[in-house]
Amino acid sequence: MRKKNKLKEIDQTMYTLLLREKKRQMQGLELIPSENFVSKAVLEALGSVATNKYSEGYPGRRYYGGNEIIDEIELLAIERLKKLFSAQHANVQPLSGAPANMAAFFALMEPGDKFMALKLDMGGHLTHGHLANFSGKLFKPVHYLLDPKTEMLDYDAIEKLAIEEKPKLILAGYTAYPRAIDFKRIKEIADKVGAYSMADIAHIAGLCCTGVHENPVPYFDIITTTTHKTLRGPRGAAIMCKEEYAKSVDKAVFPFLQGGPHENVIAAKAVAFKEASTEKFKEYAKQIVKNSRALADELIALGFRLVSGGTDNHLLLVDLTNKKISGGEAQNVLEKAKIYCNKNAIPYDKRSLFDPSGIRLGTPALTTRGMKENEMREIASLIARVLAKPQSGANIKEVAKEVQQLCQSFPFY
Ligand SMILES: *Cc1c(COP(=O)(O)O)cnc(C)c1O
């Protein structure tokens, strides 16, 4: 309480902005699949004095003095993460998912090396070889695609491409893929062509560590993850790998890519890893998928086409082609009703990436608030009502009112 008052006293403008943002988060329906609400315990660690400390290096090997407690904090985060995912080695310093991927690439590859990943407009990430990104500029990406009929991964095609291209590394793990990933098959393919196996579980980490989705960590060479999506920790990332790559990974994070680690964030990661190891979190992860399926089923019943016909995880991709509205327009009009989602390309999209044919919806944040299948069905119908009459201000207003009522029944912070 005192801390809050201090901010109000020193900087009324920022205090008001943060209060307004908190209200926005609580009074709207957060359906962006990469977002979540961290616990108050995580927030406390994030806002702690650990932010004051310089600790370049690693526990026991720092370039600054006064790190004995910081070492304990970072070691706790490392040990908890290793246990959570059954990892041989973990680095908790990456500042976010994109730099974690950069460090992972440089740990195992040289500039110019060839790697395979899913194309961005099929569900991949910018760091998986897009030309505007380091991954496409400094390395040589070869992209695999989704099966145009099923809109799912085609493992035989991936295997064929891997045999032809002989990449140094094969990357699995996506940003907008609503289906389960057969990590075992990807690992087999990588082994067959002598490539490193890399998993980027940024989106599904919270499902992997609870067994709700297959966990690739024990047998993949290298695994990157963000900590702020389904894992429900602070904004940040981590890298896990086999013991034999531990040194390369640590060197790639520091001193190659980063300077001083953000130990307040690492403290908050440690808290989140503890929370994620509980039975309660396992129930949470299961509920995320139940909610996702309920949302998907109801949207289908209301006449929406879902990419791949449904979902196995926390997200779904809605193809709006038959609804005569673009993804960008849908995102904007839904935002007016306080329903937050993001425009997203669908596989083989005929529209541009800047205003694609789809929207991406996810359930991690609303599940954290305690919403269940009934609320998901209600939300599906609210979305349908907005998109049925996107021009009608009165219609949007009516839905916005119902959104607010729904949110009030699920207070969080
Ligand atoms: C979110 C995401 C990232 C990037 O994370 P940032 O923290 O935004 O840098 C990387 N890979 C995948 C698959 C993601 O979904």
Contacts of 3 (CB under 8 A, 6+ apart): 47
The yes-or-no answer on residue 226 being catalytic is yes
- By most ligand atoms within 8 Å of CB, the mutation choice from 32, 207, 226 for ligand 1 is 226
Contacts of 192 (CB under 8 A, 6+ apart): 159, 162, 163
The yes-or-no answer on residue 71 being catalytic is no
11 located within any domain: no
The CATH number for 294's domain is: 3.90.1150.10
Q: Which of 82, 114, 235, 351 is catalytic?
A: 235
One domain, residues 305 and 231:
no
CA of 97 to the centre of ligand 1 (A): 4
Provide the number of structural domains found in the chain. Answer: 2
390 located within any domain: yes
Q: What is the pLDDT of residues 44-69, one digit of tens each?
A: 999 999 999 999 999 999 999 999 99
**pLDDT number for residue 196:** 98
The CATH number for 134's domain is: 3.40.640.10
2 located within any domain: no
232 located within any domain: yes
- Structural domain that includes position 326: 286-408
CA of 125 to the centre of ligand 1 (A): 7
Query: Which of 276, 310, 330 is the endpoint of a domain?
Result: 276
The yes-or-no answer on residue 229 being catalytic is yes
62 located within any domain: yes
Query: Which of 230, 248, 276 is the endpoint of a domain?
Result: 276
DSSP string, 317-347: EEE-GGGT--HHHHHHHHHHTTEE-EEEPPT
Task: Give a three-class secondary structure readout of 380-392.
Answer: HHHHHHHHHCCCC
Contact 356, 307 (CB under 8 A): no
**pLDDT number for residue 4:** 56
Q: What is the pLDDT of residues 90-144, one digit of tens each?
A: 999 999 999 999 999 999 999 999 999 999 999 999 999 999 999 999 999 999 9
**pLDDT number for residue 242:** 98
**pLDDT number for residue 3:** 52
Question: Distance between CA 16 and CA 269 in Å, rounded?
Answer: 27
15 located within any domain: no
Question: Distance between CA 49 and CA 69 in Å, rounded?
Answer: 12
DSSP 195: P
One domain, residues 262 and 295:
no
Rounded to 5°, the CA angle 50-6-51 comes to 10
One domain, residues 91 and 63:
yes
Residue 4 CA to its chain's centroid (Å)? 29
One domain, residues 119 and 202:
yes
317 located within any domain: yes
23 located within any domain: no
- 151 closest CA partner among 308, 258, 323: 308
One domain, residues 214 and 344:
no
- 306 closest CA partner among 382, 358, 374, 350: 358
The yes-or-no answer on residue 363 being catalytic is no
The residue contributing the CA closest to ligand 1 atom 5 is 97
The yes-or-no answer on residue 54 being catalytic is yes
Protein residues with CB under 6 Å of any ligand 1 atom: 34, 96-98, 101, 125, 127, 173-175, 200, 202-203, 226, 237
CA of 232 to the centre of ligand 1 (A): 14
The yes-or-no answer on residue 235 being catalytic is yes
Query: Which of 229, 244, 276 is the endpoint of a domain?
Result: 276
Residues of the chain with pLDDT under 50: 1-2
Structure-token pair, residue 256? 């190659």
One domain, residues 202 and 292:
no
CA of 396 to the centre of ligand 1 (A): 32
Q: What is the mean pLDDT of the chain?
A: 97
Which atom from ligand 1 is nearest to the alpha carbon of 229?
Answer: 1
CA of 174 to the centre of ligand 1 (A): 9
Question: Distance between CA 321 and CA 360 in Å, rounded?
Answer: 14
